[in-house]
Structure 1
Amino acid sequence: MPLKKSIILIILILAIDQISKIYIKTNFLYGEEVVVFDWFKIHFIENNGMAWGAEFGGRAGKLFLTIFRLCAITGIGYWLYKSIKNQAHTVLIIAVSLIFAGAMGNIIDSVFYGVIFNTPYNEVATLFPEKPYGELFFGKVVDMLYFPIWSGDLPSWIPFWGGKPFTFFNAIFNVADTAISIGVGLLVIFNKKAFPKED
């Protein structure tokens, strides 16, 4: 797969990711939800930390996480460049392109969203306001895709969680997260093609 097609794929993923995030941020109240199907909802939240909403270390932890992401994206970009240069299998190049695009999408949120959005109370956010909600490197990642495929009480015979309410799938994520997950999935499923053994 040539570099040009890889760049087109990355730009396409980034465009869909950022357009969807900006639309949600400027049209939805925080926590607002639209039911598309019973098993698919648009639910606006923001993630201030790592994957699955984890946080650590306050402001210092947030800054460390953003800097770590910038270092990681540099490494992923180099991996993609070397893979294309060495004419690696198309599966590997597509997978790394998806991971790169997804990581870049969330980095844009973390680095810039704090200075290009505000967070008004009971109103939708404004793009490029006079008083943004944060600082450079301290933005929040916008999430909105929610697939509560099944909700109910678990059978009482299940250890620890039996009889308690449970939702599958309970994570709320975005297009960038989806791209990363698909990229990693491709590497796992097609690992023999992506990483062929040398004779």
Structure 2
Amino acid sequence: MSENSEATDGLRARNRERTTKRLEQAAWDLVAEKGFDAVTAEAIAERAEVSRRTFFNYYPRVELVLQERMRATIAGLVDRFCERPTDEDVQESLAAILSEPFGPELLETAAIVFGQASSSPAARFFLAEAQASEVSQVAEALTARGGPWTDPMAAQVVAQAVMGAGHVATMVWLGQSHGVVNDRTRQLHLDLLRQAFAHLFITFSGASTLADIPSSEI
């Protein structure tokens, strides 16, 4: 590949990244101002100062641009999880990757979503779809880890439980922080996540696979 081609590809990548961020920020600004029910592709494109066609070149559905922050965060955690030793206990791996608070943008997003979910069907639909996507990401990571998690059912069960615990922790965080995001409340969220996962693993500690459970108890 020539230097000119590499420069052109690099410019395109930077332009794409800038446009993606503009669309994402425009979408969440609209959600914060007007609620989920009022957000459309046309409104996002107008706020981001791009054409409707450009929006759909990047995202086939409005929900996908809104999910990007959460998807990227989970993807980062999944990558770190996959880097852990494959013979390490899952609980220890989770504790290791939860080493620092989430970024303020993500928690501001969570405050908006959970804050609107009680009164907005569109917000509840978005939350359910986002959680399903996150569960899929985690289940894929568990399956790739091998061992007992090569069983798709086992991976799905654990992924559902882990993400469910994470959502409960975030709801508790919203009640205690009142949606205020600063260094103290970011640390609070991390502490609540760790507590939620500790509750999960303490409650369900014991046999790690169905093979460890007597057939009479299944």
**What TM-score do the two structures reach when normalised by structure 2?**
0.26
Greater helix percent: which structure? 2
Greater strand percent: which structure? 1
Whose RCO is larger (CA < 8 A, sep 6+)? 1
**What TM-score do the two structures reach when normalised by structure 1?**
0.28
